[in-house]
Amino acid sequence: MLKKRELLLSERQPSSEDETMVPVLTSRKASELPVNEVACVLQADLQLGLTQEEVSRRRAYHGWNEFDISEEEPLWRKYISQFKDPLILLLLASAVISVLMHQFDDAISITVAIIIVVTVAFVQEYRSEKSLEELGKLVPPECHCVREGNLEHLLARELVPGDTVCLSVGERVPADLRLFESTDLSVDESSLTGETTPCSKYTYHQLPSTNGDIASRSNIAFMGTLVRCGKAKGIVIGTGENSEFGEVFKMMQAEEAPKTPLQKSMDLLGKQLSLYSFGIIGVIMLVGWLQGKRIMDMFTIGVSLAVAAIPEGLPIVVTVTLALGVMRMVQKRAIVKKLPIVETLGCCNVICSDKTGTLTKNEMTVTQLFTSDGLHAEVTGVGYNGAGEVLLDGEIVHGFSCPSISKVVEVGCVCNDSVIRNHALLGRPTEGALISLAMKMGLESLQQEYVRLEEHPFTSEQKWMAVRCVHRTLQDKPGVYFMKGAYEQVIRLCSSYNSRGSTLSLNHQQRELYQQQISYMGSAGLRVLAFASGAEMGSLTFLGLVGIIDPPRSGVKEAVGTLISSGVAIKMITGDSQETAVSIASRLGLYSKGCQCLSGDEVDRLDLQQLSNIVSRIAVFYRASPRHKLKIVKSLQNIGAVVAMTGDGVNDAVALKAADIGVAMGQTGTDVCKEAADMILVDDDFQTIMSAIEEGKGIYNNIKNFVRFQLSTSIAALTLISLATLMNFPNPLNAMQILWINIIMDGPPAQSLGVEPVDSDVIRKPPRNVRDSIITRSLLIKVLVSALIIVCGTLFVFWRELQDNVITPRDTTMTFTCFVFFDMFNALSSRSQTRMVHEMGLCSNRTFCYAVLASIMGQLLVIYFPPLQNVFQTESLSFFDLLFLVTLTSSVCVVSEAIKMVERWRGVEKSPPADCFHEV
């Protein structure tokens, strides 16, 4: 099927002027053609890219580079599907039987109730779907594209055939590309072919005889695959559904997202309650029938009670609350990709954080320079620009006035993949700092004066980068290696050092001198880079060191203090030296007397159990690489910790997946990393993690509040009808009134509890035990006490009104209004499990105020509006009746507030002492 589609596309003849301008190329055809022919067919310029006018013309024909394959179900069909609920069908049957028995008032009443109940459920589900759709749009894929000669950062959806795209380590390939430049490129195609071993890519064209399936096309980078190593440039040959990934994506879309653990537990709770409710309703109907009540009346009451008592909206409201909470997190610059993480955030008790860019600003600036022959220069100015000077003994150094310094700056500028354009950095911050240094000395043009022959890209494992270059005027020469990286790695490949233009053999004394200088720079919190050059790798000439400062982010120290005091341990993982790491950690309050630090090499030497025994005492891991992160995560999980791990590189992906909460960097993070993560920090700021934990705890509390309200109302409604039936009272509520209570229970007042603002003190509370049930002993007591007060109060009103032993519309109106008012006061008290109503403020949750106001207005319409009086069988009440009911029903709120006070007094809510992390 795939081959047939390829053949059709490759042989397709242009049938219009548009198609003549923008022909279609399949990956098979493109892989067999030389690069220049592909560019000719696609009418593209490989170096300058397309013009904006040409891009617009091609997009008009090819459309956006995205998939729009899901045919949305029309709203009317979604609405009709709500009537498939077994309870709704039972009510409809009840309405039909009423019509057959000529009880038209009952039939109309039940039908109106069904429409209201179904509409509320439909609106809830629609909101849930829309909220989840919004989540999917939060992380749009991006790419680097050359247009009109400039490298631009675009959304992947903006690409068109003929665009020139630049790929680098960690990026996701944004469209099908025919590669024309490649340096050690290795691509993970497992998402397309299922082959887990990364494929090496080249640029030469393939012979038709070797061009089998898509896995054999070594000069094509396919849309959706991941760059594991190296870098490349390619021309776009297929976008959207014209890419090889199109068919795979359609299959992927068919998979449904699994439910979160909380949703599953809510489903289970709902089913258990449904089972108990059906049992009780069955007994009520049987007892009522044995007492001689009309079977039709008992059937309608039973079905209505089932609709009201069974919390079918529970999982939906949980989803809506989680999704809305996630949308609120977006405003705090945290994108949560998976709903279960919202629950896990409240349990997190260890955060393993990168230093650079998360705890620090990632605005690198060179402040010190030390040459191999002992010269020490100071560098002024900040930012990615040429503002500032290099000072040697107070004298300004410019150009090649001091060869020892110029050589260091030259290597930093040439062994560099980043660009500064209009004071904006395109590339890595460390490399940006080195280009700024070159700009301050007027040497930035050196980057263009060399032709790169070979490259060894930087990896977090080897901790160095090297390029072999030749000067444009000396292209017949073999070339020179320029190298930069961590001192320990660079010095291993050096056999000599530069001394005032001469090359001297590297001895132990010189190494000691450089080590002392590194310790001095590190203790000042500087990140140290070493530089070397030479004709052969392994016998390079050491040139010197630069010290780069990366100041701590504002607010991080306060966030660290707050989290540690609440029982969350924070561990810093960095590739820097021990001195630099400890200096920054101390400044942030992460490292104090009694804390320990551990190197990456020491982590390697310890087995998992040994590391688990000491990991709780380690505050800083220095000279660590991504492979150490996985071991650190596993050792923490071994001792029961719930771990959040930050990362930004390709090799961080495994550790992020293994952590309970994988946190990727939004700005510096690679696509691979973002793919593996559960949460993305848009601005790479550590404070955002604290905000996310705070929001996660708040969302969980809001769900508990909602569950408390719904359970107490369900239990009260069931108990009320059960007691009335068992005591041989007339039914205190009719079917329509029970359905109205259901709308309040599942509707706006209940949902508004899910958007209660987060309590500012919640972050200071200890992490929740991951095994704790949402229904705690304290919550259950509050539910049962509230239900008891509602039942006793409502039965008292019913008994008081029924003293003449004749049931009238006034009797049921008083009972019905009493129950609804009890519900409103119960909702007010359910806004928090620990804080008093006056502490929260009556209007702090405006949604709740509007919802309660709307419910009360609706109740007053039911009582005083004649058409609704007929439907609900009510009559008007006096002002004093309402005053009596408000006074009585407020008791549920007063008692709930008293329970909170008692709990506070007894210290039930007292936090455990904050240690590194509590037992999970």
Provide the annotated active-site residues: 354
DSSP one-letter code for 462: T
Q: State both tokens at 664.
A: 């990727």
Helix axis angle for 86-100 and 295-309, nearest 10°, is 150
* 532/545 Cα distance (integer angstroms): 9
Closest CA to 785 of 902, 910, 901, 893: 893
String of b and e for 61-87 (b: at least 16 CB within 10 Å)? ebeebbbeeeeeeeeeeebeebeeeeb
∠ CA 159-162-167, nearest 5°, is: 65
Q: Would you say 62 and 160 are in contact if contact means Cβ atoms under 8 Å apart?
A: yes
SS3 771: coil
Q: Would you say 722 and 738 are in contact if contact means Cβ atoms under 8 Å apart?
A: no
Residues 881, 884, 888, 890: what is their CA dihedral angle, to the nearest 10 degrees?
100
Beta-sheet strands, E only, within 75-225: 142-147, 150-155, 164-167, 176-188, 199-200, 220-221
Q: How many CB atoms lie within 10 A of CB 839?
A: 12
* 823/716 Cα distance (integer angstroms): 10
Residues 425, 428, 429, 431: what is their CA dihedral angle, to the nearest 10 degrees?
-90
Task: Using alpha carbons, list the distances in angstroms from residue 855 to 114, 741, 804, 863.
Answer: 18, 10, 31, 12
String of b and e for 198-228 (b: at least 16 CB within 10 Å)? bbebebebbeeeebeebeebbbbbbbbbbbb
Task: Using alpha carbons, list the distances in angstroms from residue 257 to 134, 254, 897.
Answer: 15, 10, 40
Task: Using alpha carbons, list the distances in angstroms from residue 724 to 728, 730, 821.
Answer: 6, 7, 20
Residue 373 host element (H or E): none
Q: Would you say 414 and 467 are in contact if contact means Cβ atoms under 8 Å apart?
A: yes
DSSP-derived pairing of the beta strands 220-221 and 176-188: antiparallel
- With tokens 């089998």, the residue in question is 212
Closest CA to 752 of 340, 324, 122: 324
Q: What is the length of the chain? A: 920
Closest CA to 69 of 243, 241, 192: 241
Q: Would you say 189 and 248 are in contact if contact means Cβ atoms under 8 Å apart?
A: no
Beta-sheet strands, E only, within 139-219: 142-147, 150-155, 164-167, 176-188, 199-200
DSSP one-letter code for 356: I
